[in-house]
Homo-oligomer: A and B are copies of this chain.
Amino acid sequence: MIQNLTEHDREHLQEALGKSGQKVTPQREAVFTVLLAERDHPTVDEVFQRAREVMPGVSLATVYNCLETFVGCGLVRQVNHERESTRYCPNLAPHAHFRDKETGRVHDIELPPEVIKSLRSILPPGFDSEVIEISFHGRAQAKDSPAN
């Protein structure tokens, strides 16, 4: 069952939206409620299904809009950041990727073994990871692609 927002959460929503000049609407409340109710990293479609339980008339487009708005004002995070076309690289050495916001270019960043180790060490017992994907997003002033 999806509970109503607590006073505190409602204020949080209000404040975050307000800061960027946007309003609290029933739809936004519904979507936010859904996100807080079950923190299982739902897809848009899952959010949509659940939101309809609370507000039967909401549309899928609105759910997309709300989520975009929330991401924009820092209320929620996108897990598959900037879903774009899949990219391929023939560099098989362990490395991270850095996507330059400005150019869209992706650079390889060498990944020293001790960093990999420290990453693995944060996994709780019972979690066994074969693949670690790391990607940075930001700006690079570098002239040329580094390590490749």
Enumerate chain A interface residues (CB-CB to B < 8 A): 35-36, 39-45, 47, 67, 70-71, 74-81, 83-92, 96-98, 105-112, 114-115, 118-119, 122-124, 126-142, 145-148
Contact = CB atoms under 8 A, between A and B. Distances in A.
Contacts of A131: 81, 136-138
Contacts of A78: 86-88
A120 B75 CA distance: 24
A contact face: mostly helix, strand, loop, or mixed: mixed
Given A87-B79, A129-B98, A134-B119, A148 B92 contact: no
Contacts of A36: 90
Give me the 4 closest cross-chain CB pairs, A-B, nearest first.
A129-B138, A129-B136, A43-B85, A79-B87
B96 A89 contact: no
29 contacts: A35-B88, A39-B91, A41-B87, A41-B97, A41-B106, A42-B88, A43-B85, A43-B86, A43-B87, A44-B85, A44-B88, A47-B88, A67-B88, A71-B88, A74-B92, A76-B90, A77-B89, A78-B86, A79-B87, A96-B122, A98-B129, A107-B127, A114-B118, A115-B119, A119-B119, A126-B142, A127-B136, A127-B138, A132-B135
